[in-house]
């Protein structure tokens, strides 16, 4: 696709740094370089060569900065069109000054994600790869980064295209039954088509199932540490963070408001929340804190139910365990450094089936912390750490597209079983193909595209 306008933006984060990058993309990119850069190279700029010189004001000729510039001629550039990259000194003022000179020379300000959108529209990236660019930029952990890089390299797109190719082949066989008679020997029979469709549904369902893990790697999870006063919630938060973030005292009710911090636990971005101790409140302030706890627990992805292993279960402990029965829960018995009174048998009947075994720890000394973090990772992922799918979907609209694809195939399967006309089977297969195409952008609506690229920063 050829764009008439040329866009420009600062491509490096706000703030002060050694180097800042201004990216220019569009048909006027080389002309802008000719107007602003000195000394000009003999002849034209060579593509993918780095030039050292100065940027001058297009109105006064004054030197604005000493820079390095590179012209990347399309289609061999990120956007697929002529692109100029100006590496300036990394101060906010000098970057704005050079960018203004670029605007005066024929470019306009880029919109959010417009460089990557042009790369998509120029077939440099498909939509799944374009979204992976944003996932790489925003990755919070190494596994999340690795999953995004896999998607950018085409692993997800390859799986989707493999499924799509099989569906097109299947559709061709069904349409042959419309155009030719059975005597021509080209009809796609029910006995041949049904197993192929069912196999495709199984593949699509398996790929859709990776969304849970992909979403967790991309967005992280919210984990609340809950328990009655003085069981060691704040001590556990400080121990996991490796720093003193929450105040720890022997006085019950010390924590009144919740404290939230982000931490990498086994490759998962975790928003860990320390909360007020759950008990019958003694005053209005404590009641407000406890009300906040129950509110946070409702929205938590998982709960660490902290119990005092050196004491018997209390009524407050039992109430918490009963109320958390619908949440992914990990029972944690703290204070393993003291003589133990609470054993796992005491929890029988209070924990729902499938709850992981209780983990004994000492938040004071750090004993059992490795077992706790591993158990928490396995709880939220429901996948052993050594297992990882070949391709992973990380966005809800991708999961929805796969589910719609599987639903279309299921309708085609039903139509074959009741021997409906091949025209109706073909219609269901085409609908399924359209749904699948939303992942790579072959059939994506403009509204969805605008929503996706609006999440990007300006300059990418």
Beta bridge partners of 59: none
Nearest to 121 by CA among 456, 451, 449: 449
Q: How far, in Å, CA of 21 to CA of 102, rounded?
A: 13
Q: How confident is the model at residue 247 (pLDDT cuts 50, 70, 90)?
A: very low
Instruction: Say which range, 24-28, 150-154, 294-298, 320-324, has the weakest mean pLDDT.
Output: 294-298
Q: Is residue 460 part of a domain?
A: no
Q: How far, in Å, CA of 193 to CA of 198, rounded?
A: 9
DSSP letters spanning 343-377: -GGGGTTTS-TTPPPPEE-BTTTTBTHHHHHHHHH
Beta bridge partners of 132: none
Q: Is residue 147 part of a domain?
A: yes
Domain stop point among 329, 353, 381: 381
Q: Is residue 268 part of a domain?
A: yes
pLDDT in tens, 35-49: 999 999 988 899 999
Per-residue model confidence (pLDDT) at position 49: 96
Highest mean pLDDT among 121-130, 374-383, 412-421: 121-130
Statement to judge: residues 224 and 274 lie in one domain: yes
- Considering the entire predicted model, what is its pTM? 0.77
Statement to judge: residues 408 and 329 lie in one domain: no
Average pLDDT over residues 13-18: 89
Highest mean pLDDT among 10-14, 262-266, 288-292: 10-14
Q: Is residue 43 part of a domain?
A: yes
Beta-carbon neighbour count of residue 139 at 10 Å? 18
pLDDT in tens, 46-95: 999 999 999 999 999 999 999 999 999 999 999 999 999 999 999 999 99
Range of the structural domain that residue 415 is part of: 130-210+393-453
Q: How far, in Å, CA of 214 to CA of 225, rounded?
A: 24
DSSP letters spanning 290-352: HHHHHHHHHH-SEEEEEEETTS---HHHHHHHHHTTTS-EEEEEE-TTS-----GGGGTTTS-
Beta-carbon neighbour count of residue 196 at 10 Å? 17
Please give the C-alpha separations between residue 399 and each of 154, 360, 405, in angstroms, as whole numbers.
Answer: 17, 38, 10
Q: Is residue 269 part of a domain?
A: yes
Statement to judge: residues 226 and 368 lie in one domain: yes
Q: Is residue 386 part of a domain?
A: no
Provide the token pair at 459: 């300059």
Per-residue model confidence (pLDDT) at position 272: 83
Q: Is residue 96 part of a domain?
A: yes
Q: How far, in Å, CA of 179 to CA of 37, rounded?
A: 63
Please give the C-alpha separations between residue 111 and each of 88, 99, 172, in angstroms, as whole numbers.
Answer: 21, 14, 41
Number of domains forming the structure of the chain: 3
Contact indicator for 335, 308 with CB cutoff of 8 Å: yes
Statement to judge: residues 447 and 425 lie in one domain: yes
Statement to judge: residues 228 and 344 lie in one domain: yes
Could you tell me the CATH number of the domain that includes residue 140? 1.20.120.430
Statement to judge: residues 332 and 407 lie in one domain: no
Statement to judge: residues 417 and 364 lie in one domain: no
Per-residue model confidence (pLDDT) at position 324: 77
Could you tell me the CATH number of the domain that includes residue 80? 3.30.1360.120
- Positive or negative, the CA dihedral 407, 408, 413, 419 is positive
Q: How far, in Å, CA of 132 to CA of 230, rounded?
A: 44
Average pLDDT, the chain: 85
Per-residue model confidence (pLDDT) at position 458: 79
pLDDT in tens, 89-109: 999 999 999 999 999 999 999
Domain stop point among 51, 81, 110: 110
Statement to judge: residues 153 and 43 lie in one domain: no
Contact indicator for 105, 32 with CB cutoff of 8 Å: yes
Statement to judge: residues 377 and 405 lie in one domain: no
DSSP letters spanning 215-254: HHHHH-EEEEEE-STTSSHHHHHHHHHTS--S---SSTT-
Q: What DSSP designation does 182 have? A: G
Please give the C-alpha separations between residue 99 and each of 21, 85, 105, 108, in angstroms, as whole numbers.
Answer: 10, 11, 10, 10
Statement to judge: residues 201 and 148 lie in one domain: yes
Instruction: Say which range, 173-187, 386-400, 408-422, has the weakest mean pLDDT.
Output: 173-187
Statement to judge: residues 54 and 82 lie in one domain: yes
- Per-residue b or e along 263-295, where b marks 16 or more CB atoms closer than 10 Å to that residue's CB: bebbbbbbbbbbbbbbbebeeeebeebbebbee
Question: Could you give the 3-state DSSP secondary structure of residue 267?
Answer: coil
Q: Is residue 122 part of a domain?
A: no
Domain stop point among 75, 110, 145: 110
Statement to judge: residues 197 and 227 lie in one domain: no
Q: Which residues are CB-contacts of 281 (< 8 A; sequence separation ≥ 6)?
A: 287, 289, 290
Contact indicator for 25, 119 with CB cutoff of 8 Å: no
């Amino acid at each position: 696709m050829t764009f008439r306008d040329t866009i420009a933006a600062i491509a490096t984060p706000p703030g002060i740094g050694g180097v800042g990058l201004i990216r220019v993309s569009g048909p006027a990119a080389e002309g802008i370089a000719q107007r602003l850069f000195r000394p000009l190279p003999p002849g034209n700029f060579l593509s993918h060569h780095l030039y050292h010189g100065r940027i001058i004001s297009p109105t006064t000729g004054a030197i604005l900065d000493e820079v390095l510039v590179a012209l990347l001629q399309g289609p061999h550039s990120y956007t697929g069109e002529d692109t100029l990259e100006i590496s300036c000194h990394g101060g906010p003022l000098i970057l704005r000054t050079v960018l203004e000179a670029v605007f005066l020379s024929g470019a306009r300000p880029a919109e959010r994600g417009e460089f990557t959108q042009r790369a998509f529209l120029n077939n440099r990236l498909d939509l799944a790869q374009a979204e992976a660019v944003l996932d790489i930029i925003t990755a919070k952990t190494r596994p999340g980064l690795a999953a995004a890089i896999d998607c950018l390299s085409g692993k997800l797109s390859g799986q989707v295209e493999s499924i799509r190719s099989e569906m097109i082949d299947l559709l061709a066989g069904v349409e042959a039954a419309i155009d030719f008679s059975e005597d021509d020997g080209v009809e796609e029979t029910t006995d041949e088509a049904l197993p192929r469709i069912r196999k495709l549904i199984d593949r699509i369902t398996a790929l859709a199932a990776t969304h849970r893990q992909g979403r967790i790697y991309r967005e992280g999870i919210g984990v609340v540490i809950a328990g009655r006063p003085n069981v060691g919630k704040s001590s556990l938060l400080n121990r996991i963070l490796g720093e003193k973030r929450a105040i720890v005292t022997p006085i019950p009710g010390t924590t009144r408001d919740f404290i939230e911090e982000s931490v990498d636990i086994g490759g998962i971005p975790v928003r860990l929340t320390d909360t007020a101790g759950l008990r019958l409140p003694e005053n209005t302030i404590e009641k407000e804190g406890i009300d906040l706890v129950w509110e946070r627990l409702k929205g938590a992805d998982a709960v660490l139910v902290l119990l005092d292993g050196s004491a018997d279960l209390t009524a407050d402990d039992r109430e918490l365990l009963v109320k958390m029965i619908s949440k992914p829960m990990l029972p944690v018995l703290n204070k393993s450094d003291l003589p133990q009174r609470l054993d796992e048998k005491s929890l029988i009947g209070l924990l729902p089936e499938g709850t992981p075994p209780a983990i004994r720890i000492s938040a004071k000394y750090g004993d059992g912390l490795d077992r706790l973090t591993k158990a928490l990772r396995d709880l939220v992922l429901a996948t052993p750490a050594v297992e990882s799918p070949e391709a992973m979907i990380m966005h809800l609209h991708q999961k929805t597209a796969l589910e719609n694809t599987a639903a279309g195939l299921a309708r085609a399967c039903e139509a074959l079983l009741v021997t409906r006309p091949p025209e109706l089977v073909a219609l269901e297969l085409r609908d399924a193909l359209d749904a699948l195409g939303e992942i790579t952008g072959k059939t994506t609506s403009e509204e969805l595209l605008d929503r996706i690229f609006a999440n990007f920063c300006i300059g990418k």
